[in-house]
Amino acid sequence: MALVLLSGQPSALTRQSFSTLPDRHQSDWVEVTLLRSLGGIPVAPTSPRRSKSDHLMRSCCCIMLVLLLMSCQQPDVTSGSVRTPAPAQPSAPARVTPHPEFVDMVITLVNRERTTAGCPALTPNETLIQVARAHSQDMAVHRFLEHTGSDGRSPAQRVQAAGYQYRIVAENVAAGRLTPEGAVQGWMQSPEHRANILNCELRDTGVGVVEAPDDPTYGIYWTQLFGTPF
């Protein structure tokens, strides 16, 4: 506002106030306005002919001008402020559903194949069951089908970390098979998986089955661990 006044371009309010003063006092009004805009103190009137109404009008105009200057000089509390973005909402974990009811059926079907081949039946082992279930859940949550887990560990490392001391360990995994029969049938049709099922030196087993209803690729994940302890 002060710059506008000093540059000879008074505001609309200033022009309106200026036009209401008598001609003989216009120079005094400009003097007071400039002093006020520069932060100074207006001088006392020099002309004894000024009326009381002139003094009152000039005082009112000065007060209005000061208020305008103060409003224009208020600091902008929003300028220069840094808007902190809202933290990103963590993505919801994948919805998974374990199927413990499939465990016994898979073991029964596998032992049936082993008996036919002349191998001893496998014994369910709780540690191997827990490790197998954890790996199936890992695959379901992270949407992959591998023996190596999302943490980089191998089946042998997972089993050993769980406290199962083994002499032999093996693992079969599958995905997309909807029933225990379909999972075992698929393994028996694969030479590598069939070899694990019909390895007569293996003694213990554990099965884990976890469904991922929102997974459009596989939907359900299967893990069977085999082991022979020391």
Q: DSSP string of 120-170?
A: PPPEE-HHHHHHHHHHHHHHHHHT---SS-TTS--HHHHHHHTT--EEEEE
**Residue from 107, 148, 151 nearest 129 by CA:** 107
Predicted pLDDT of residue 40:
45
**Residue from 24, 45, 37, 46 nearest 67 by CA:** 37
Tens of pLDDT, residues 126-181:
999 999 999 999 999 999 999 999 999 999 999 999 999 999 999 999 999 999 99
Tens of pLDDT, residues 190-228:
999 999 999 999 999 999 999 998 898 999 999 999 999
**Per-residue tokens: 158:** 């997972």
On the question of pLDDT at 99 being above 80, the answer is yes
- Do 136 and 223 contact (CB within 8 A), yes or no? yes
Separation CA 12–CA 18 (nearest Å)? 10
Residue 154 amino acid letter: S
Predicted pLDDT of residue 21:
39
Q: φ, ψ for residue 184 (rounded to 5)? A: -65, -40
- Out of 39-53, 57-71, 75-89, 134-148, give the one with best mean pLDDT: 134-148
- Helices within the chain (DSSP H only): 2-6, 12-19, 26-37, 52-72, 101-116, 126-142, 155-161, 180-188, 191-197
Predicted pLDDT of residue 95:
82
Residue with tokens 């279930």: 133
